[in-house]
Structure 1
Amino acid sequence: MRIFNKYQPLLIAKYVKTFFSGRLYIHGRGAFNYAKGILVMPEHADERHRITVQEINQLIGKMQAPAEAV
């Protein structure tokens, strides 16, 4: 289990994408599970959990998307 003392969405997204499955804890936000390279919504998620999961998964999606040709 990895513990993040600060909420740094980009760092957390890189960690989740790299290690693919496991657990993590974000100080002030709570514990989260991740599988298949994305955060999983907890069963009894409050609004803060939902926002966090959506934000991290959105960043992971942007990292996986191919770069647009200019």
Structure 2
Amino acid sequence: MRFFKHYAPSMIAKHISRLFNGKIHIHGIGEFRFKDGQLVAPTEAEREHYKMVKEINSEITRLKMAY
């Protein structure tokens, strides 16, 4: 599990694209799982969580297109 002190979509996307499966924790926001290189929304997600998941997954897609 990787702990992030603040919400930084590009840093989180780099971490997820390297490892493919696992967990991350963002301080003040909560814990997330990622599977097959994509971030998955938590079971008890709120609207902000879904926005963050969408933003991070789009950043992951952008990184994949750059390579």
Q: Is this a same-fold pair by TM over 0.5? A: yes
TM-score, length of structure 2 as denominator length: 0.91
1:51 positional shift: 1.1
Residues 6 and 54 from structure 1, CA distance in 2 versus in 1: closer, same or farther, beyond 3 angstroms?
same
Between structures 1 and 2, the one with greater helix share:
2
Aligned AA (2:11)? L
* 5+ long unaligned stretches in structure 2: none
- Runs of 4+, deviation exceeding 4 Å: none
Identity of aligned residues (%): 39
RMSD over aligned Cα atoms: 1.3
Select the structure of larger CA radius of gyration. Answer: 1
- The whole-number CA distance in structure 2 between the counterparts of 1:29 and 1:55 is 15
Aligned AA (2:30)? G
TM-score, length of structure 1 as denominator length: 0.87
